[in-house]
Amino acid sequence: MAEFWSDEWFDAVNEAAGSLRTIDGLSFSFDVEVAESANGKVRAHGYVTDGQLSSFVSGKFVPETKGKKANVSFIGKAKRLMPIITGEQPPLVAYMLGELKIEGEYQLVVDNLVNQSDHSALESFRALVAAATG
């Protein structure tokens, strides 16, 4: 198991992404900001290409065009995000309770990704990430 937010953890998340199915045309960039982690406030950014996680790395999103932001931002506290990772709480419930904030083009995730995805593949991805998280 890898420590949450370590380089090894990001490697495991990216490897687990192979379990996701493609969704033609669903592509976007995203930021993740986690407060109150063991390392304080941490950030990561990534890309979803055709419905699959194609890249997820530590650090702030750096756009190719000045002034551009990631399409979607996920914001939460570590203690609120870990139940999502472990499967104790569905992400949609955390979102509805305000424990997970989604800013920007949230419909890319809430409407498109969730509604068009293979739910067993999403669960497999979540389980692989949970198993890799120490």
Q: What angle do CA 120, 4, 51 make, to 5 degrees?
A: 35
How does residue 105 score in pLDDT terms, banded at 50, 70 and 90?
very high
Residues contacting 13, CB < 8 A, separation 6+: 53, 56, 129, 132
Answer with the residue of higher pLDDT: 102 or 112: 102
Return mean pLDDT, the chain: 91
- What percentage of the chain reaches a pLDDT higher than 70? 98
- What are the domain boundaries of the chain? 7-132
- Which CATH architecture group holds 7-132? 2-Layer Sandwich (3.30)
Token pair 């687990």 is found at 16
For residue 14, the SS3 value is helix
Give backbone dihedrals phi and psi of 86, rounded to 5 degrees, phi first. -80, -10
Model-level pTM? 0.88
